[in-house]
Amino acid sequence: MDDARSTSPRIHGTIAHDIGVEIVGGVRKPGDVFGGEIEASEQLGISRTAYREAIRILSAKGLVESRPKAGTRVTARHRWNLLDPDVLAWTFEGEPDPEFILDLFELRGVIEPAAAAFAARRRTQAQLDDMKAALDDMGRLGLADSEGRAADQRFHRAILAAAGNEALAALASSVGAAVSWTTKYKQRTRALPRDPLPDHILVHEAIVARDDQAAHDAMAHLLHLALADMDLPART
């Protein structure tokens, strides 16, 4: 279904990636100025063209800003497109700030229960079937850990699709992916946290019953448990 055919890495893309990681990782701080194009590009061993295209990509995501004579510099953090899929991915390639991780979980805790509530009202039978299929896959015994996460993500995506809100879906897919990077990262410590199925089933049943309030609360409860499984500092 998902034709994930890998696209060969092109120079401008890899450079944008590398510099982007440096920026979100804090090695290049807001206000820092890049050397001139000629200097910077030959320091990277690439042409000015490729370097400039990399800068265009970063600029499109709000990470840098170029002005004639003034040079190219890292923009203030509040200008960054923090929820851009690439920016999120780059953030989680390093050691993301725990505060930001909490922000994302908090955001997910707002988004997904609302999505579940919408789904409870608007879901079609086909969407219900998708949810059920993902749920069954999660319940299989031979869960290879990675397959388990994949099924879990399918479950969440099915709910998002059933919510019938494009903007919500675009947002949640980014945040959801980022959050899954975190769980993947933290999962080395404890193998399989606990059996998550009962909560998922509650969400599913509420959506089947078109009970939006119950779906909302069940999803909130599910996410709360998922967060508790991680050893993050508490927050008011």
Partner DNA sequence: TTTTTGAATAACTCAGACATATTTAGCCCC
Partner DNA sequence: GGGGCTAAATATGTCTGAGTTATTCAAAAA
**Smallest distance, Å, CB 5 to its own copies?**
10
Instruction: Verify binding: residue 49, DNA, rule CB under 7 A.
Output: yes
DSSP state of 33: B
Among the listed residues 229, 203, 190, 210, the one whose alpha carbon sits nearest the alpha carbon of residue 138: 203
**Smallest distance, Å, CB 58 to DNA?**
11
Contact range with DNA by CB under 7 A, out of 5-13, 113-121, 143-151, 179-187: 5-13
Report what 78 binds from its own copies, DNA, none; CB cut-off 5-8 Å by kind.
Answer: its own copies
Report what 181 binds from its own copies, DNA, none; CB cut-off 5-8 Å by kind.
Answer: none
Instruction: Verify binding: residue 49, its own copies, rule CB under 8 A.
Output: yes
Instruction: Verify binding: residue 37, its own copies, rule CB under 8 A.
Output: no
Instruction: Verify binding: residue 133, its own copies, rule CB under 8 A.
Output: no
Instruction: Verify binding: residue 50, DNA, rule CB under 7 A.
Output: yes
In the complex with its own copies, which residue's Cβ is closer, 41 or 138? 41
- Contact with its own copies (CB under 8 A) among 34, 73, 89, 121: 121
Q: Who contacts 221 (Cβ-Cβ below 8 Å, separation ≥6)? A: 199, 202
- Contact with its own copies (CB under 8 A) among 75, 153, 165, 180: 165
Gap between the Cα atoms of 211 and 121, Å rounded: 7
Instruction: Verify binding: residue 69, its own copies, rule CB under 8 A.
Output: no
Gap between the Cα atoms of 208 and 23, Å rounded: 45
Instruction: Verify binding: residue 110, its own copies, rule CB under 8 A.
Output: yes
Helix, strand, coil tally for the chain in percent (to 5): 65, 5, 30
Instruction: Verify binding: residue 62, its own copies, rule CB under 8 A.
Output: yes
* Residues forming beta bridges with residue 231, ordered by sequence position: none
Token pair for 162:
């059933």
Gap between the Cα atoms of 85 and 87, Å rounded: 6
How many residues bind DNA (CB under 7 A)? The answer is: 29
- Contact with DNA (CB under 7 A) among 1, 4, 69, 231: 69
Among the listed residues 8, 22, 3, 13, the one whose alpha carbon sits nearest the alpha carbon of residue 94: 22
Q: Which helix (H) or strand (E) holds 87?
A: helix 85-91
Among the listed residues 65, 63, 50, 61, the one whose alpha carbon sits nearest the alpha carbon of residue 15: 50
Which residues contact its own copies by CB under 8 A? Answer: 7, 12, 16, 49, 52-53, 56-57, 59-62, 67, 77-78, 80-86, 99-100, 103-104, 106-107, 110-111, 114, 118, 121-122, 165-171, 175, 236
